[in-house]
């Protein structure tokens, strides 16, 4: 059986001078605990924060749909 892998991400968004949500950063995180901990820490510093995970096969390089772990504030859903 091919090895399974989790891809865990954290992203933050702020509004620009026109009121549009723009990404501040998006990065891969090592663990679910770290992603949730970091998301809680930065939640009040940004207009929107999201953490999500995708699980899949490293051998096939196929990953399932994202599963949201944490979401607060406003997010540009059309860009995610």
pLDDT tens by residue, 2-51:
557 889 999 999 999 999 999 999 999 999 999 999 999 999 999 999 99
d(CA 5, CA 26): 19
pTM of the model: 0.85
State the chain's maximal CA–CA distance in angstroms: 51
DSSP one-letter string for the chain: -PPEEEEEEEEEEEE-TTS-EEEEEEEEES-HHHHHHHHHHHGGGSSEEEEEEEEEETTTTEE---EEEEEEE---GGG-
pLDDT band at 54 (very low <50, low <70, confident <90, very high): very high
2, two tokens? 């091919």
């Amino acid at each position: 059986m091919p090895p399974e892998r989790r891809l865990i991400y954290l992203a933050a968004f702020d509004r620009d001078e026109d009121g549009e949500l723009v990404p501040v950063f998006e990065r891969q995180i090592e663990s679910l605990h770290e992603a949730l901990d970091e998301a809680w820490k930065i939640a009040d510093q940004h207009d929107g924060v999201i953490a999500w995970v995708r699980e899949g096969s490293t051998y096939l390089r196929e990953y399932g749909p994202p599963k949201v772990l944490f979401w607060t504030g406003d997010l540009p859903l059309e860009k995610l």
